């Protein structure tokens, strides 16, 4: 039997973004711009590159502008057309997902990442799917999810997470992997634990916000068991799949910027701008002139 294709991606975007107040009082954190695109759009483009056809957003109160962002803006488009601002018009149209490819559901209570994914169960159905945490901005070619889908096809299914080495002190902020054998950039996963204390972390190889999951994850999430922070943790549900399905971590060649953190967000802006030929020369001059 051939490995089923990954057609759907879930984007948990219900978080309140309290770390970015007051900016996120009326604007969802996923809509904050990295250079000139909202953070969420990078995640969607990465997913599209990986072959994703259905984009499922798990939103919450006050997140409706995300829906507007992925819809036509008729007045704006008409105005840009009338003024012959073709470049700007094209940038809007290019970022529009295909008709019928976007769905929204709500996480009514902030009960954790596992709960957010569970909220998408009825839209995912009985097939393997990807989860993209847009706060983790991945920059590189091929994109992180594409590299993971390639690994998934090579292995022939199961759970795939993206991973990155962190310092021991940082392990308390992540899902941490108990690693088995490594071949190339793929490591067997023997165990995962959510936000362990540094002394208890099984390694310093941490999960970052990209996942490929089998539909059987929903059976585990449905148990609604609380874990770290008294939340329903995706990591705990994945841990219960160990031994039942293959489980691997992919260390992608992409750079990862944590846009959920102020310094990470600034770093993402600078890194992405430095890759842009229209901005990089002026930015480099500006950075060189900064005095600390
Ligand atoms: C979530 C996951 C964690 C993972 C992290 C990656 O944590 O629960 O396992 O390592 O994303 O960014 P959060 O950042 O939501 O606390």
Domain ranges of the chain: 8-289
Confirm or reject: Cβ of 112 under 6 Å from ligand 1: no
Task: State the distance from the centre of ligand 1 to the C-alpha of 273, rounded, in angstroms.
Answer: 26
Confirm or reject: Cβ of 207 under 6 Å from ligand 1: yes
Model pLDDT, residue 232? 96
Report which protein residue has its CA nearest ligand 1's atom 9: 175
Q: Probe ligand 1: pick from 133, 171, 264, max atoms within 8 Å of CB?
A: 133
Confirm or reject: Cβ of 159 under 6 Å from ligand 1: no
Task: State the distance from the centre of ligand 1 to the C-alpha of 89, rounded, in angstroms.
Answer: 36
| Contact between residue 158 and residue 148 where contact means Cβ atoms under 8 Å apart | no
- Nearest ligand 1 atom to the CA of 192 is 9
- Nearest ligand 1 atom to the CA of 207 is 10
- Nearest ligand 1 atom to the CA of 234 is 8
Cα 29 from Cα 84, distance rounded (Å): 32
Is the pTM above the cut of 0.85?
yes
What would the pLDDT profile of 183-208 be if each residue is shown by its tens digit? 999 999 999 999 999 999 999 999 99
The confidence band for 254, taking pLDDT boundaries of 50, 70 and 90, is: very high
Model pLDDT, residue 1? 58
Instruction: Over range 205-224, report the average pLDDT.
Output: 97
The confidence band for 44, taking pLDDT boundaries of 50, 70 and 90, is: very high
Q: Does domain 8-289 have CATH number 3.90.550.10?
A: yes
Cα 194 from Cα 217, distance rounded (Å): 16
Cα 95 from Cα 117, distance rounded (Å): 24
Is 286 exposed, middle or buried, given 0-12, 13-18 or 19+ CB atoms closer than 10 A? exposed
The yes-or-no verdict on residue 2 having pLDDT over 90 is no
Task: State the distance from the centre of ligand 1 to the C-alpha of 64, rounded, in angstroms.
Answer: 24
- Nearest ligand 1 atom to the CA of 235 is 9
Instruction: Over range 199-226, report the average pLDDT.
Output: 97
The yes-or-no verdict on residue 225 having pLDDT over 80 is yes
Q: What's the chain's average pLDDT?
A: 95
Model pLDDT, residue 214? 97
What would the pLDDT profile of 103-130 be if each residue is shown by its tens digit? 999 999 999 999 999 999 999 999 999 9
Task: State the distance from the centre of ligand 1 to the C-alpha of 65, rounded, in angstroms.
Answer: 24
Task: State the distance from the centre of ligand 1 to the C-alpha of 244, rounded, in angstroms.
Answer: 23
The confidence band for 244, taking pLDDT boundaries of 50, 70 and 90, is: very high
Backbone angles phi, psi at 217, to 5 degrees: -60, -30
Confirm or reject: Cβ of 232 under 6 Å from ligand 1: no
Instruction: Over range 72-97, report the average pLDDT.
Output: 92
The yes-or-no verdict on residue 131 having pLDDT over 90 is yes
The first and second tokens of residue 261, run together, are 């953190």
- Nearest ligand 1 atom to the CA of 174 is 10
Confirm or reject: Cβ of 60 under 6 Å from ligand 1: no
């Amino acid at each position: 039997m051939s490995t089923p294709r990954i057609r759907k991606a879930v984007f948990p975007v219900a978080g309140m973004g309290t770390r970015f107040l007051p900016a996120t009082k009326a604007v969802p954190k996923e809509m904050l711009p990295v250079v000139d695109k909202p953070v969420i759009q990078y995640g969607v483009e990465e997913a599209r590159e990986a072959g994703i056809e259905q984009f499922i957003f798990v939103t919450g109160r006050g997140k409706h502008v995300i829906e507007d962002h992925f819809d036509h803006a008729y007045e704006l488009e008409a105005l840009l057309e009338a003024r012959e601002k073709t470049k700007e018009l094209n940038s809007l149209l290019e970022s529009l997902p295909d008709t019928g490819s976007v769905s929204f559901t709500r996480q009514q209570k902030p009960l954790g990442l596992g709960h957010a994914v569970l909220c998408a169960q009825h839209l995912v159905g009985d097939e393997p799917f990807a989860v993209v945490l847009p706060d983790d901005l991945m920059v590189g070619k091929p994109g992180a999810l594409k590299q993971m889908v390639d690994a998934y096809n090579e292995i022939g299914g199961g759970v795939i997470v993206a991973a990155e080495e962190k310092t021991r002190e940082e392990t308390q902020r992540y899902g941490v992997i108990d690693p088995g054998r490594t071949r190339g950039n793929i490591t067997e996963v023997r165990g995962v634990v959510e936000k362990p204390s540094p002394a208890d972390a099984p390694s310093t190889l941490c999960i970052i916000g990209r996942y490929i999951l089998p539909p059987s994850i929903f059976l585990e999430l449905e148990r609604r068991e609380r874990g770290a922070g008294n939340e329903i943790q995706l990591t705990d549900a994945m841990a219960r799949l160990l031994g039942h399905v293959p489980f691997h971590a992919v260390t992608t060649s992409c750079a990862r910027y944590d846009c959920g953190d102020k310094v990470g967000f600034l770093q993402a802006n600078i890194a992405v701008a430095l890759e842009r030929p229209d901005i990089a020369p002026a930015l480099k001059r500006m950075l060189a002139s900064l005095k600390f």
